[in-house]
Structure 1
């Protein structure tokens, strides 16, 4: 019996997009106009699906054409879009359409299915096990590369920023999440976790969510997120990281954009436990949220913009001293 010929492993070539080594692209530096000013200037004329707009969002490792600008007059950026609701959810598609229509170069790397509540989890990536993925397409954006990966959104962001699906992005935009991500428990959000991961990798990032209701106005959240890109992507150390939440109303009815802080934890839950399972039942919120918080802004009809920071140490000599003293 003849031995089987050994199958040769295919080696990647310099032109292989999927195996291309990561490259750090220079961050564009837009003007210092605020997110609120950009939003107000464009509010009356914004169309999430502009008629007759040329598609200018094909991923390319080459520099952008000289003189090219976005709808906000800024240099186009290479944007990685992800989410935690899954690659086929409506929020990420509306967001990608808005960013591409604004003139940006967009690539989508998102979970194959819903991964809500995964925070910044990346699973067992450190074991170097293969991660299943597939390439798909959206009829409304035939030239935008869309990659579905069987992993949490933070892992999708991680591999995307390392160059698995093209050049290193200039900025990561995560969303649009179906339901608000507000208060100090945003740490558990997969949408926010993806943005936190991007910031930890040295990239500016935006997490955007839409308050849940019967009628979901995705275009409102997409408009605010698109307007936030130039300011967020400005060169900054550490990179800027925004958590944006919008009420679900038509864009023209949005009262404005407010800079906010995270609301304190005020959720009320009941727990029911037996030897076999634990059940949690959401009761509601406690006291009204303080003014100036993201929850208060949403309830008042405003989009909330909360600037976050990635994980960073707090200098302290007391902890080490106390531990050393107890150890003798």
Structure 2
């Protein structure tokens, strides 16, 4: 068994160290993470410059790039062998609902999935790393279960959100779907010392679709949320209507 471990908070993040420790004894471990915090970078790859690779004193490898860069480079030339599993995290803060489209944590796992490797992304619901040891125990248990009895044949992708609780390893686990958020808050406009306008992206909106069965609902109830993801963004239900529109100009 060979496991590739990545994240988006950077190679010095406590969550990465906790996930590495959680995976100890499961097989050969390779760690490739961003040099700096790369939250919100989604699935971006660095194409306009070369990437520099480094090895930290603790053996962790890191790149001056994005989470997707890390997994992509690892799988296409850096690692001596292809991993059997890619895990990402443990992220500082939830990745639920629409957040998954922006998340570097999920993107790192998804990059492995795109290469046909099973993958899991782990996040804590709240920021601050509270009860990280308990979250690591949950991650270990889920990894062991997934390896012992894979949920499906071939590659699969799971997104796991863990409440920041000391008893997280005892909480019920719920298989969920992604919820939806309201639109983000407006940008925050400021002025730099030269009098030029600058903008900060506003905070995410509250959940607008967080009913039973969603990741938002599960974590609000104190459950560990496990959401199977896929990459196909095709609106399959709308295909017939758009086909009619294409054929005859009718409104879809």
Relative to the length of structure 2, the TM-score reads 0.83
Q: Which of 186, 194, 200 is residue 100 of structure 2 equivalent to?
A: 186
Match of 1:113 in 2: 36
Map residues 115-194 of structure 1 onto 2, 5 A cutoff: 115-124=38-47, 129-138=49-58, 145-194=59-108
Question: 1:309, CA displacement in angstroms?
Answer: 1.2
Q: Which residue is equivalent to 2:227?
A: 306
Whole-Å separation in 1 of the counterparts to 2:122 and 2:42: 14
Partner of 2:178: 262
1:124-144 superposed Cα distances (whole Å, 9 cap, x missing partner): 0xx6x5311111133xxxxxx
Deviation at 1:119, TM superposition (A): 0.6
Which of 18, 33, 36 does residue 94 from structure 1 map onto?
Answer: 18
Which of 201, 215, 236 pairs up with 1:294? 215
Gaps of 5+ in 1: 1-76, 139-144
Task: State the partner residue of 1:22.
Answer: none
Alpha-carbon offset, residue 147 of structure 1: 0.4
Compute the displacement of 1:168 (Å).
0.8
Q: In the aligned structure 1, how far is the partner of 2:151 from the partner of 2:207? A: 40
Runs of 5+ consecutive residues of structure 2 not aligned to the other structure:
191-195
Residues 184 and 265, structure 1, Cα contact 8 Å, conserved in 2 = yes
Distance 1:158 1:268 in 2: 30
Cα deviation, residue 286, structure 1:
5.4
Question: Which of the two has higher C-alpha Rg?
Answer: 1
Distance (whole Å) between structure 2 residues aligned to residue 194 and residue 244 of structure 1: 14
**Do 2:135 and 2:168's aligned partners in 1 also have CA atoms closer than 8 Å?**
no
Contact 2:122-2:160 within 8 A present in 1 as well? yes
Do the aligned partners of 1:87 and 1:110 also contact (CA within 8 Å) in 2? yes
If the length of structure 1 is used for normalisation, what is the TM-score?
0.65
1:164/1:219 CA distance change after superposition, 3 Å: same
Query: 2:124 aligned to 207, 210, 225, which one?
Result: 210
Report the 3-state secondary structure (helix = DSSP H, G, I; strand = E; otherwise coil) of the residue aligned with 1:108.
strand
Counterparts of 2:67 and 2:168, CA distance in 1: 31
Q: Please identify, of 222-231 and 239-248, the stretch whose mean Cα deviation from structure 2 is larger.
A: 222-231
Cα distance in 2 for partners of 1:215, 1:175 equals: 12
Following TM superposition, by how much is the alpha carbon of 1:310 offset from its aligned partner in structure 2, in angstroms? 2.5
The 2-side partners of 1:314 and 1:213 are apart by 33
Counterparts of 1:63-74 in structure 2, within 5 Å, are none
Distance 2:29 2:188 in 1: 46
Q: Distance in 2 between matches of 1:155 and 1:223?
A: 28
Secondary structure in 1 aligned to 2:219? helix
Indicate how the Cα distance of structure 1 residues 188 and 167 shifts in structure 2: closer, same or farther if over 3 A, else same: same
How large is the RMSD of aligned CA atoms in angstroms?
A: 2.8
